[in-house]
Amino acid sequence: MSRSRFFAAECFQPLCRQGRILLLVASFCVCAIAADAAELERGDCGKCHSEKVRVLTVAGGPHATEVGCLDCHPQHPPRSGTAFRACDECHQSRPHYEIGGCRHCHTDPHQPLVSLRDPLKPMRLECLSCHPEVGRQMNENPSRHGELYCTRCHSRHKEVSTCLDCHEPHLANQTNPDCGTCHPTHAPLRIVPAGHVPSRFCQVCHAQAARDLAATKTNHGGINCLYCHQGPHRSIPDCQTCHGLPHAPSIHRQHRGCLNCHGGAHHLISNR
């Protein structure tokens, strides 16, 4: 490309963009932009678009190494109607590539990951294209959390808000990790308490059981609620799971229920 054409392009660039004016001034405007892409080589682009080359080199990733300017800009504008190739010409057959609106999130194709904008609009399907397991969990365990947009709780990618941002705890000084011992985040109604859950966490809602247990003189008194109430919330254990049939068969034949003599599980009566 000659130096003078180069120069002219810079000078008349605003004019060249307007087709009609271009006609009028055609005699002066030997416009570089009108050159065929075929004439421009990969190495040429940087002569006029050095900033783009810099950005791509620093943060383009595979868009710099595996793809070249000409792969995305097959014809040099403004001669061509399309200045660039659409994302889905190269990115296909993954759920994530079906969601469209690529540039809503990847705002600059020359640095597609660095420019990833944190979502400003409510989103759900877009997230599920890469996190299908979360969707499955929500479908299998319906709750009001499943009706919220993901971005209600994840306002930036990979960031999470905490339960206490939106809810009061059952008990003062319960912490966020405490919530997780009973409520899985994406399936908060699938309550299977696990790990260290102090009895006072149950006591908030089951005052009577806790009072009875505190009052009994028997060895049930010192036992943690979860030791007996294992598994999903509301499950009730059987005395025999832990004690079998401890008395003479005649006694058990005569009395179907242990509680005929032992009062109750929490307010246990025992003469031992």
Kindly identify the residues of this chain, within the stretch 201-220, that bind ligand HEC according to CB under 6 A.
201-206, 209-210, 213, 218-220
Q: How many residues bind ligand HEC (CB under 6 A)?
A: 138
The answer to whether residue 22 forms part of the interface with ligand HEC (CB under 6 A) is no
What is the spatial distance between Cα 143 and Cα 134, in angstroms, rounded to a whole number? 13
Q: Which of 30, 181, 190, 192 binds ligand HEC (CB under 6 A)?
A: 181
Residues 65-94 contacting ligand HEC, CB under 6 A: 66-67, 69-73, 76-77, 83-85, 87-91
- DSSP secondary structure code for residue 106 in this structure: B
Q: Which of 27, 173, 236, 250 binds ligand HEC (CB under 6 A)?
A: 236
What is the nearest approach in angstroms of ligand HEC to the Cβ of residue 161?
4
Q: Which of 79, 136, 196, 255 binds ligand HEC (CB under 6 A)?
A: 255
Helix residue ranges, H only, the chain = 3-17, 19-24, 45-48, 50-59, 62-65, 69-72, 102-105, 125-128, 132-140, 150-153, 163-166, 176-182, 199-203, 207-215, 225-228, 239-243, 249-254, 259-262
Residues 138-157 contacting ligand HEC, CB under 6 A: 143-145, 148, 150-154, 157
89-106 burial code (b ≥16 CB/10 A, e <16): eeeeeeeeeebeebeebb
User: Strand, helix or coil at 25?
Assistant: coil
What is the nearest approach in angstroms of ligand HEC to the Cβ of residue 21?
14
| Residue from 77, 12, 89, 90 nearest 49 by CA | 77
The answer to whether residue 29 forms part of the interface with ligand HEC (CB under 6 A) is no
The answer to whether residue 225 forms part of the interface with ligand HEC (CB under 6 A) is yes
The answer to whether residue 8 forms part of the interface with ligand HEC (CB under 6 A) is no
What is the nearest approach in angstroms of ligand HEC to the Cβ of residue 140?
13
The answer to whether residue 190 forms part of the interface with ligand HEC (CB under 6 A) is no
The answer to whether residue 6 forms part of the interface with ligand HEC (CB under 6 A) is yes
Q: Which of 12, 29, 119, 187 binds ligand HEC (CB under 6 A)?
A: 119
Q: Which of 8, 12, 29, 179 binds ligand HEC (CB under 6 A)?
A: 179
Q: Long-range contacts: 118-124, Cβ < 8 Å, 24+?
A: 118/155, 118/156, 118/157, 119/151, 119/155, 119/157, 121/151, 122/149, 122/151, 122/152, 123/149, 123/150, 123/151, 124/149, 124/150, 124/151
Q: Which of 58, 130, 194, 215 binds ligand HEC (CB under 6 A)?
A: 130
